[in-house]
Amino acid sequence: FSGSLDRALAAFIIATGAAASGQKVTLFFTFWGLDILRKGKSYAGKDWMSCMMTLMAPSGASHLPLSKMNFWGVGTKMMAKKMKDKNIASLTDLMKTAQDLGVTFIACETTRELMNVHMEELIDGVESGGVGAFLGEALESRLTLFI
């Protein structure tokens, strides 16, 4: 995952659709995917390098740029307006819907440690797990998507 709004939207549209049809859904967030789960920026207990990474990263789902045509934020604002005009849920609304439907969110432990992201920095309801958690979910599922 690149930390891009359009890719996150695609993942959550698929996840909520699958969950709404009664399937068990788990989303595994690693590296830039963790930015979706952030509540905001927090620098407490971080070293200089971790603070710089936090400063440069988006501070949650409502601050993600588009993967293409972002144009310093203008493209993202245009996309948000088109979505609102067409009554398409925002990413934060899709995330809430996914949680309400029972979608499990797992933040990669190794990535969190590497990027010095604490669980307290993430939205409520996120679990922490390693690669084993991802592989276990993938082995039990009929379909695995890695976006």
pTM, full prediction: 0.83
Exposure string (b/e) for 41-61, b if CB count within 10 Å is 16 or more? eeeeebeeeeeeebeebbbbb
State the sign of the Cα–Cα–Cα–Cα dihedral 62, 10, 88, 95. Answer: negative
Residue 1: per-residue pLDDT: 46
- HSE at residue 72, side-chain half, CA atoms within 13 A, is 0
Q: What is the pLDDT of residue 60?
A: 75
Tens of pLDDT, residue by residue, the chain (147 residues): 455 888 889 899 999 999 999 999 999 999 888 989 998 777 788 888 878 877 777 777 777 766 666 677 787 788 888 889 999 899 999 999 999 999 999 999 999 998 889 999 999 999 999 999 989 988 988 777 665
